[in-house]
Amino acid sequence: MKRVVIVGGSGVFGRRLAEGLHASTSSYIILAGRSLERAQRAATDLGTPEAIALDRDTATADVLRALRADLIIDAAGPFQGADLRFTRAVIEAGANYIDLADARDFVAAFPSLDALARQHGVAAITGASSTPALTHAVLDQLRAGWRRLDIVRTGIAPANKMDRGPAVMKAILGWVGAPVRVFEDGAWRERVGWSDCGVFEVPKLGRRRFALTEVPDLDLIPARYAPRDTALFMAGLELPLMQRAMQFVAALRRWRIIPNPVRLADLLRRAGNLLLPFGTDRGGMIVEALGRDAEDRPVFARWSMFAPNGQGPYTPTFAALLMAQRFIAGDPPPPGARPCVGMLTLDEFEPAFARHGFTTQIDVTPLQAPFETALGATFDNAAPAVRAAHRAGPVTRLRGEARVQGAISPLAWLAARLFGMPRSAERIPVRVTMRLDPNKETWTRRFGDRLMESRLRAVAPGIVRESFGPFGFDMQLSVAGGVLSMTIIGWRIGPIPLPAFLAPRSTATESADEQGRFRFDVPIALPLIGRLTHYSGWLALEEVEAAPAPSERETA
């Protein structure tokens, strides 16, 4: 009979993992933790045979060797800021090792133990949890056969009515408000932990606002899948009040009012518990991938998981349970120390999902740019350079040059500033990035150091609506002689139409120049005020580079 020690066996995740192992294997399970009383109580409740006091911060190889364990699982946490001493001691004791680490620094340092694990003939696996083990199993299935991967977005949407263990709170507060390195917009950049990532749809849960989290996948997804544009990992709390409260804590850290929010863990945990009567016990998770499929067509794929009845906290234990079952069955991975990526398939998770009443689904949606959707077959009459630019997604980047005639009056200048329109320039470098999602396309234009962003979607045959903040402008599209024309025919603020006689005057065009390059001409004026801007120039498709290797990272 295999002897398995679960460190943190009375905690939020350790107890659930012990429950799964006890139900699915005949192993001898020992629950370990700093508090012998809590470990004994958990062992009695679960029916496991033994409980011991063990502090992973002080445990030595000799202490662990005396346990005669075949496998030691660290479910204690938090792993943020933790060193590898305990893992090293487990390896030197001759035991196999699994942990549920979701700490980026911990998982990144873990392969440094590879030679030691090989020397002792044991396998040490880190990150056997929702991230990275489950996310990589999902991505392996979502993008199978694809020619290109542009964007990966993963979001965890926990229920409000759930256990909030102290280790979980400390782990989160360790990076909230701190600088977080993330691969976004084709480069490594620095953002703030828990900064806003927008609103996303979670099937069966509805729309939630998500914020940036720091997890191992921010490194591992770019390294393993090389997305060409973005890799984000996010969290969205059920109660908007709590989501905003975490943003406020992040701001306090950024302003150096509270340099170490971890000290607030107990206070914030108690405050969160006061809100337990609100919200639901339903949580979920999404993994979204955008790229080009086996037929080289732009596509959006989303895997979603729905966890009812307060079952969500079991999710981080599933990968560790599956890996432990392999060890116990005599089928461990080869000796060495590595993260839990590419070791499990999504199908292997399905029995655990079903056992806890989880439901999952995969939605695959072909993508089409708004202009082609609105024009239909007429779009094929546009110039080749225009068609290529609108069909290169999901992420299309173009670079070129423009001439800009700026605002003609002080009032026009104010209006132009409101929408981020470029200043006057004879020759200015231009970069345009178009990101296509199922319901919209986002255009980010950079004229030198000036940024202008808008969202476009087809709203009727021949009509595309372009939105800048709360303002929307309806444009009638037409194609003649290879030239695609866009004329503003109406405008609105939110859902409220505005008077047509006050609408901006603009007929913009996209065509090809003598060299076959994409050419644009965009005049915009307001009645009574005059010209806001008139920019024209050329663009060429830019090759979208994949995520660089870790050694090539730069902070932008």
Render pLDDT for 499-532 as a digit per residue (tens, 0 to 9): 999 999 999 999 999 999 999 999 999 998 999 9
> What residues have CB less than 8 Å from 199, skipping those under 6 apart?
207, 208, 209, 210
The mean pLDDT of 217-241, rounded to a whole number, is 97
- 380 has pLDDT over 90: yes
Q: What is the mean pLDDT of residues 85-103?
A: 97
Predicted pLDDT of residue 555: 31
The mean pLDDT of the chain is 94
In the predicted structure, residue 546 carries a pLDDT above the cut 60: no
Which has more pLDDT, 555 or 439?
A: 439
What pLDDT score does 554 carry? 34
pLDDT at 123 over 90: yes
**Angle at the Cα of 541 (from 536 to 545), degrees rounded to 5?**
135
Model confidence over 490-500: pLDDT tens digits?
999 999 999 99
Could you tell me the pLDDT band of residue 474, with boundaries at 50, 70 and 90?
Answer: very high
Q: Give 166's pLDDT tier (boundaries 50, 70, 90).
A: confident
Name the pLDDT band for 552 (thresholds 50, 70, 90): very low
* Shared domain check, 445 and 327: no
Cα–Cα distances in Å, from 20 out to 6, 127, 166?
12, 18, 22
CATH of the domain at 28: 3.40.50.720
Q: How far apart are CA 368 and CA 437, in angstroms?
A: 9
For residue 247, pLDDT beyond 60: yes
247 and 186, same structural domain? Answer: yes
Residues 271 and 403 in one domain: no
Residue 420: per-residue pLDDT: 86
Shared domain check, 152 and 39? no
**How far is the CA of 181 from the CAs of 9, 216, 286, 339, 430, in angstroms?**
33, 11, 22, 19, 26
554 in any annotated domain? no
| Identity of the residue numbered 29 | I
- Same domain (yes/no): 381, 511: yes
Per-residue model confidence (pLDDT) at position 208: 96
298: phi then psi, degrees, rounded to nearest 5: -65, 135
Please count the structural domains in the chain. 3
288 lies in some domain: yes
Lowest model confidence (mean pLDDT) among 44-48, 180-184, 224-228, 485-489:
44-48
Read off the pLDDT of each residue in 403-416 and give the average, rounded to a whole number: 92
Q: What is the structure's pLDDT at 162?
A: 84
**Predicted local distance difference test score (pLDDT) of residue 542:** 87
pLDDT number for residue 544: 55
Q: What's the rounded Cα separation, in Å, for the pair 354 and 358? A: 6
Q: Is the pLDDT of residue 556 over 60?
A: no
Residue 535 domain flag = yes
**pLDDT tens digits, 267-315:** 988 888 899 999 999 999 999 999 999 999 999 999 999 999 999 999 9
- The verdict on 248 and 329 lying in the same domain is no
Would residue 358 count as lying in a domain? yes
Instruction: Give domain status of residue 383, yes or no.
Output: yes
Q: Does 181 lie in the same domain as 72?
A: no
Cα separation of 97 and 71, whole Å? 6
* 115 and 151 fall within a common domain: no
Q: For residues 386 and 265, state if they share a domain.
A: no
Structure confidence at residue 413 (pLDDT): 92
Q: Write down the pTM of the prediction.
A: 0.92
CATH code of residue 390: 2.40.128.20
CA-nearest of 521, 481, 520, 514 to 383 is 481
Asked whether residue 39 carries a pLDDT value surpassing 80, the answer given is yes
Q: Report which DSSP code applies to 268.
A: H
Residues 303-328 have pLDDT tens digits of 999 999 999 999 999 999 999 999 99
Cα–Cα dist 75/321, whole Å: 11
Q: How confident is the model at residue 547 (pLDDT cuts 50, 70, 90)?
A: low
- Do both 210 and 330 map to the same domain? no
Residue 80 has what pLDDT? 86
Question: How much is the pLDDT for 110?
Answer: 97
Would you say residue 503 lies in a domain? yes
Res 550: pLDDT: 46
Q: Between 556 and 19, name the one with better pLDDT.
A: 19
> Using CA atoms, how far apart are residues 51 and 39, in angstroms rounded to an integer?
5
Q: What is the mean pLDDT of residues 354-360?
A: 96
The pLDDT of residue 553 is above 90: no
Contact 431, 469 (CB under 8 A): no
Instruction: Say whether both 203 and 271 belong to one domain.
Output: yes
| Domain of residue 220, CATH code | 3.30.360.10
Contact assessment for residue 331 and residue 30, using Cβ atoms and an 8 Å cutoff? no
The answer to whether position 556 is within a domain reads: no
Contact 170, 262 (CB under 8 A): yes
Q: Which two tokens stand for residue 64?
A: 């662990």
**Assigned domain for 269 exists:** yes
State whether 142 and 269 are in the same domain. Answer: yes
Cβ-in-10-Å burial (0-12, 13-18, 19+) of 122 comes to buried
Q: Which domain holds residue 523?
A: 370-542
What percent of the chain stands above pLDDT 90? 89
Q: What is the pLDDT of residue 548?
A: 57
